[in-house]
Amino acid sequence: MTPEEFTGAVVLTVNDKKVEVAARPDMRLSRLLREELGLTGTKVGCDAGDCGACTVLIDEEQACACLVAAAQLEGRRVQTIEGIANDPIGRALQRSFHHHGAAQCGICTPGMLMASLDLLRRVEKLSLPMIEAALGGVLCRCTGYLKICEAVLDAQRFLEPDEGLAEDVLLPTGDGDASPAVATAYETRPATSAVAVGARVARLDGLPKLDGSETYGADKAPQDALWLRAIRSPHARARFSIGDLGAFVSNEPGIFRVLTAADVPGENSFGIFPDMKDQPVFAEGETRYRGEAVAAIIGERAAIDGFDVARFPIRWEPLEALIGLEAALSPNAHAVHVSRPDNVLVRGWVEKGDVDSAFHGSAHVAEGVFSTGFVEHAYIEPEAGFARRVGDRVEVFASTQAPYMSRDEVARVLGVEPGDVRIVPSACGGGFGGKLDVSLQPMLAIAAWQMGVPVRSVYTRPESMAATTKRHPSAISARAACDAEGRITAYAMEADFDTGAYASWGPTVAGRVPVHGTGPYRVPNVLNRARAIYSNGPIAGAFRGFGVPQAAIAHEALYDELAEKCGLDRLEFRLLNALRVADETATGQVLQASVGLDRCLEALRPNWKRMLDEARTLNAKRAVMRRGVGIACMWYGIGNTALSNPSRMRLTVTREGKLTFFNGAVDIGQGSTTVLTQIAADALGLPVTVFTLVSGDTDRTADAGKSSASRQTFVSGKAAENAALALRAEILRHTNAGPDARLSLQGSRLTVDVKGESSVIDLASWPSGHDGVVFEGVGDFDPPTEPLDVKGQGVPYATYGFAAQIVALDVDMGLGTVRLDHFVAAHDVGRAINPTLVEGQIHGGIAQGIGLALMEEYVPGRTENLHDYLIPSFGDVPPIDIILVESPEPLGPFGAKGVGEPALVPAAPAILGAIRHATGVSIREIPALPHRVRAALEAAGVALEI
C-alpha cells in the first residue's frame, strides 16, 4: 500500500488477533503498538533502528518496530513480546532466559526474545556465530551478552516439559550452567527451598521482564496526562533571552503552558551535596553546557511532538565555551561558577610517608600521563516518567536509582516538605550511575504542581545523551617506584577530572580516586591528589566506579612497566605486592579481614601461564596479528567514602499469613531484589517463595540509600539480615523457642518446630495492629567508617571488593584494530549470595570496560545517538571465565560484599596491558581507537604498511 492509498486505518494481525487501527500513514509501528493497542512490551530505546529494543516479528521476520510505518502494515502479521507465550519455542526461550539470568534490567529483553524466536524458528542446530548474527541488531548494556547466548543455545532444553514460568523460581544448578560461551570455576550448592544464600535463585522480579508486562518509565501514565518537552541550549555556553511567552502560547494550538525559571516555586537549584546545589531546573540568563534546559513546553501530545523548536521565542548569543580540562584550567578561563574563580570545584588527596625520599631511593621508577574522555551510560531506557498532584502532595513515577534523593530534590524545587513528595520508581531500564541524579523529575513535578493535571515526558535518545551525566574525562599524571626485588616503594598521582558544567558527583570522584589511586597494593609512600574541574562540557556524574576505572588505567600500566624493569612476571609482581589481611592501605587503614586478592591472583596463575604460552606460540608464527596478554587488579571501597551510609529494611507478617519485605533499594538490573530476599529468607528461616515484595516506593519503604557504589548487597543486605533476625527473634520470643527452631508458614499457620516439637501460631487469632501486622522486624545498617584527616588518613570504607582479570587479544599491526579473544576474571565477592547474578554483573562490567578501553567516546553534538556512539554489541564481548573467590567479610550479610563496580574496573587496564604486551607500545589516550593504536605503532616504528 502506498501512502496515497492509505485510508487512515490499517488492518493487521497482532499476536494472532485481527485488529483495525486508525493511524496516520507515517505512524511508527512501535507507537501504534504501544499507544493505540496498549502493547507496551515493545520498548523504544532510540527510535532510530540503532538499539533493537523494539524488535518484533513481521510476517515471521524480525524488524525494528520504530522503522516500520503504519502504511506498510496492511494485511501483515505482527508478533510482539505479549504474544511470545503463544509459541512453544517462545515459552522455552522465556524459561531459558529466566534460568540463565539473561535479563538484568530487562529493557532489551523483549527485543532479544523476539530476535531469538526468529532465529530458533528458522534454525534447529545453533552455533554462537549464528546467535551473534541473528541477535546482533539488539543492544544490551547490562549483561555483556554471554548469558543471553547461553540462554538461546540452551532453549531447546526448556521445550519439555512445557510448564508455567512461575514454577521456575527456584532452579537447581545443573548441566545447563556451563556452555561454550561461559565456563565457571565456581561450584555452588543446589538451590533448595530451605537454603537461599549461595543458590542460583532465578530473579524474583524476573517474570515481567520476559512477557512484556514490566512497567518502565515510559510505559505508564494517567490517560489525561499532558506532555512536557524541554527547550534546551544548542550551545555549550550562551546568553539567552526569552520572548513573549503569552503570545507564543496563544499562537500554538495544543500548547498550554511554558515553564521557565520564574515558575519554579522553591529553589531553582538541585545537586547531590547539601552545599553544592548548583544546577538549575531551568537556566537563568546563561547556559553552561549543550543540552541544558531553559524552559519546558506543556501540552497535547501531537502539539508537543510536532513542535519545531525554531518557533520557540528565544534569542541566543553564543559565548566562548571552556571545552576540556586544558581550557578550563587556563589562566584566562572565565569562571563557570562565580564561587570557583579557578574552576576547581573540589580537591581530594591522600598523603602518607615520604614520597620524595622514596622515589629518590628506589631501584626503578615508571611514569606516565594518561587521558580518558567522556563516556555515556547508554542505558537502553531513556529517562521517562510522569508526575501528578494529589491534594497537597506530588507523586512522581520515574526511572531512578535513588528514590529518596529524588524526593528531597523535588521537594526542594517545589518548596515543600520531603514528606509532601512521593517517588514511585518505575522499573529501571539500566542506570549504571546515570540515574542517580534527577533529570526530568523536577520539571514534571513543577508542571503537575502548577497546572494541577498529570504531566509526562519521555526523553528522546539524543536528548538523553546530551542532557544527562557522563563518566568524567580524566588527565592523570602518575609515577610509581619499586625496589630491586619488585616491592612497590612509592606512588604519586595528580589527577584532574572534568566535571562539566555542574558539580553532580565530582566531589565523590575527587575524594574516592586518591584513596584508590595506588591500586590494591602495599605502598608505604603515597601522594595522590585529585581535582574536579568545572568546564562547559556535559555534566560528569556517577558512572560505575566514580573515577576508579580511570585511575586503574594509570596504576596498572605503571606496574606493568615496573615488573618489566625488575624482571618479574606481571602476575608475580602483583602477587608480591598485593594487599593482604593486616596490611595498611594508603589511608592508614589496617585491613582486618576479607582481602582475597592474593587468592584471585593464585587462581588465575594457571590460565595466565597458558595464555602467555599460547601468545608465544602464535607470535612465533604470525606477523600482522600479534597476540598479547594483559592483567590488571582492582580494589573498590564498598559504599560512600568516609560518610554515613545507612539503610533500613522492614519485614512484616500479617493475620492472613502474608510475609512482606518492604525494601527501598531500587533494583536497577543488578538483582538486589532477589539477593536481599535471599539474605532475608535465610536469616529468617523461611523460603523466598513465601515473600511478598514491596520495593522502592518512598511512601511504603524506608530509606535504603542509593543503588550505587556497589553498596546494596553489603549495606542493605545487612539491614535485610538484621530485619529478618529481628522478626525471627520476635516470633521465637512468643513461642519460647530456642535459636535452632525451624519455621514454616502456610496460610495463617506459622509453625515453630524445635527438635520435632511443633507449636503453631494461628496468626488470624493473634493481636495485630490496624494494618493487620502481627509480627514485625526492622533492621538497620550503617557501615563503620571514619572521616579522613587533613592528610587523607582514616577509614573511608568498612570493606573492599578485590579482583584480578586477565585477557588475551590480537592487535592488527597494520590497521591498529584489536580483537579480544578471552577473559578470565577472578573476583573476591566475600560471599556469592547468588552466583548467577554475580556472574551477570561481572560479564556486564567487563563489557563496559571493553567499551571504555576500545570504543566509547562521547563528543557533544557529534555522538548523541547510538549510531555514532558505539557500545559493545554481540561479538565484541569474548568468552569470559569466572572464578569466584569467597573471602568472607565479617560485617557483611553472610560474608557478602559487592561486585557491581569491581567488575568493570580491571577490564580496561587489562586490555591496555595486553595491547602493550602484543605490540610493545603503550596507549595512553583512551579509548584505544584503531587510529590511535595505529598512530602509536607508527610513532614507535612498529606499524606494518597497509
Q: Does 149 bind ligand FES (CB under 6 A)?
A: no
Residue 408 in 3-state DSSP? helix
Q: Which is nearer to ligand FES, 847 or 912 (CB)?
A: 847
Closest C-alpha to 695, from 428, 379, 384: 428
Choices 11-19, 107-115, 219-227, 517-525; region in contact with ligand FES by CB under 6 A: 107-115
10 Å CB burial of residue 690 (0-12, 13-18, 19+) is middle
Binding residue for ligand FES, selected from 54, 142, 221, 513, defined by CB under 6 A: 142
Number of chain positions touching ligand FES (CB under 6 A): 14
Q: Report the site for ligand FES in 594-633 (rule: CB under 6 A).
A: none
3-class secondary structure, 544: coil
Residue with cell 525494528: 64
Among 106, 431, 547, 845, binds ligand FES (CB under 6 A): 106
**If binding is defined by CB under 6 A, does position 103 make contact with ligand FES?**
yes
Q: Residue from 72, 143, 269, 343 that binds ligand FES (CB under 6 A)?
A: 143
Instruction: Count other Cβ atoms within 10 Å, centred on residue 859.
Output: 14
- Of the ranges 100-108, 368-376, 750-758, 768-776, which one interacts with ligand FES (CB under 6 A)? 100-108
Closer CB to ligand FES, 56 or 294, in the complex? 56
Which DSSP category does 473 fall into? P
617 Cβ neighbours under 8 A, 6+ residues apart: none
Q: What's 877's DSSP letter?
A: S
Q: Which is nearer to ligand FES, 212 or 669 (CB)?
A: 669
Nearest residue (CB) to ligand FES, 427 versus 813: 427
Q: Is 104 in the site for ligand FES (CB under 6 A)?
A: yes
Q: Does 871 bind ligand FES (CB under 6 A)?
A: no
Of the pair 142, 883, the CB lying nearest ligand FES is at 142
Q: How far is the CB of 381 from ligand FES (least distance, A)?
A: 8
Minimum distance of ligand FES from residue 28's CB (angstroms): 21
141 forms part of the interface with ligand FES (CB under 6 A)? yes
Task: Find all residues with CB under 8 Å of 887, minimum gap 6, and list them.
Answer: 593, 594, 595, 596, 599, 802, 828, 830
- Comparison of 238 and 847: residue with beta carbon closer to ligand FES: 847
Instruction: Give least dist CB 140 to ligand FES, A.
Output: 3
**In whole angstroms, how close is the CB of 295 to ligand FES at the nearest point?**
32
Shortest approach of ligand FES to residue 380 CB, angstroms? Answer: 4
For residues 141 and 422, which CB has a smaller minimum distance to ligand FES in the complex? 141
Cβ(507)–Cβ(276) below 8 Å = yes
Applying CB under 6 A, does 846 fall inside the site for ligand FES? no
Nearer to ligand FES, 109 or 793 (CB): 109
The answer for residues whose C-beta is within 8 angstroms of residue 450's C-beta and 6 or more apart is 257, 259, 263, 265
Whole-number minimum distance, CB 14 to ligand FES, in Å?
Answer: 24
Retrieve residue 293's grid coordinates.
Answer: 534546559
CB of 668 to ligand FES, least distance (A): 9
The verdict on 108 binding ligand FES (CB under 6 A) reads yes
Q: What are phi and psi of 635, to 5 degrees?
A: -140, 155
The identity of residue 469, as a single letter, is T
Residues 654-693 contacting ligand FES, CB under 6 A: 669
Of 20-28, 85-93, 102-110, 344-352, which part binds ligand FES (CB under 6 A)?
102-110
Q: Which is nearer to ligand FES, 346 or 436 (CB)?
A: 436
Instruction: Kindly tell me the sign of the dihedral angle through the C-alpha atoms of 110, 115, 121, 127.
Output: negative
Q: Residue 209 CB, nearest distance to ligand FES (Å)?
A: 8
Q: Are strands 77-79 and 9-14 parallel, antiparallel or unpaired?
A: parallel
Q: Which one of 120-128, 136-144, 466-474, 910-918 is the stretch in contact with ligand FES (CB under 6 A)?
A: 136-144
Nearer to ligand FES, 431 or 892 (CB): 431
Q: How far is CA 879 from CA 618, 806, 823, 829, 842, in A?
A: 19, 12, 6, 21, 12
Interhelix angle 146-154/835-850, rounded to 10 degrees, is 130
- Are the beta carbons of 176 and 645 closer than 8 angstroms? no
Judged by CB, which is closer to ligand FES: 142, or 387? 142
The region of 141-149, 415-423, 783-791, 890-898 touching ligand FES under the rule CB under 6 A is 141-149
Pairing of strands 55-58, 61-64: antiparallel
Cα→Cα distances 132→124, 259, 392, 524, Å? 15, 46, 52, 48
Question: Residue 171 CB, nearest distance to ligand FES (Å)?
Answer: 19
Stretch that binds ligand FES, among 105-113, 250-258, 616-624, 921-929 (CB under 6 A): 105-113
> Quick one: which of 105, 228, 321, 731 contacts ligand FES (CB under 6 A)?
105
> First and final CA of the chain: distance in angstroms?
49
Which residues inside 405-444 make contact with ligand FES, applying CB under 6 A?
430
- Is the alpha carbon torsion for 914, 920, 926, 929 positive or negative? negative
Among 139-147, 324-332, 635-643, 905-913, the segment contacting ligand FES (CB under 6 A): 139-147
Q: What is the sign, positive or negative, of the torsion defined by CA atoms of 430, 433, 439, 442?
A: positive
Shortest separation between residue 126's beta carbon and ligand FES, angstroms: 20
152 binds ligand FES (CB under 6 A): no
Give the other-Cβ count within 10 Å of 273's Cβ: 14
What is the rounded distance in angstroms from the CA atom of residue 485 to the CA atom of residue 488?
A: 9
> Residue 550 CB, nearest distance to ligand FES (Å)?
24
Distance in Å, CB of 138 to ligand FES, minimum: 8
| Residues numbered 479-508 forming contacts with ligand FES, rule: CB under 6 A | none
Residue (667 or 812) nearer to ligand FES, CB: 667
- By the rule CB under 6 A, 135 interacts with ligand FES: no
Strand order in the sheet with 488-500: 344-352, 525-534, 488-500, 474-482, 364-372
- CB 37 within 8 Å of CB 14: yes
Give the containing element (helix H, strand E) for 673.
helix 672-684
Asked if the peptide bond before residue 860 counts as cis, ω within 30 degrees of 0, the response is no
Nearer to ligand FES (CB atom), residue 101 or residue 628: 101
Nearer to ligand FES, 431 or 685 (CB): 431
Give the relative orientation of helices 672-684 and 717-735 as an angle to the nearest 10 degrees.
Answer: 30
User: Pattern of binders to ligand FES over 373-392, x per CB under 6 A?
Assistant: -------x------------
What is the torsion angle, in degrees rounded to the nearest 10, for the CA atoms of residue 121, residue 127, residue 130 and residue 132? 120
Task: Look at residues 670, 628, 657 and name the one whose alpha carbon lies nearest to residue 765.
Answer: 657
Q: Name the DSSP class of 33.
A: I
Region of 12 please: left (phi>0), alpha (psi -120 to 50) or beta.
beta
Please, what is the minimum distance in Å from the beta carbon of residue 867 to ligand FES?
A: 17
One residue of 27, 63, 65, 107 binding ligand FES per CB under 6 A: 107
Is 140 a binding residue for ligand FES by CB under 6 A? The answer is yes
Strands across the sheet with 625-637, in order?
625-637, 800-812, 818-828, 880-885
Contact between 100 and ligand FES per CB under 6 A: no
Q: Which is nearer to ligand FES, 104 or 672 (CB)?
A: 104
In whole angstroms, the minimum distance from the beta carbon of 104 to ligand FES comes to 4
Pairing type for strands 474-482 and 488-500 reads antiparallel
Residues at the site binding ligand FES, with contacts judged by CB under 6 A: 103-109, 140-143, 380, 430, 669
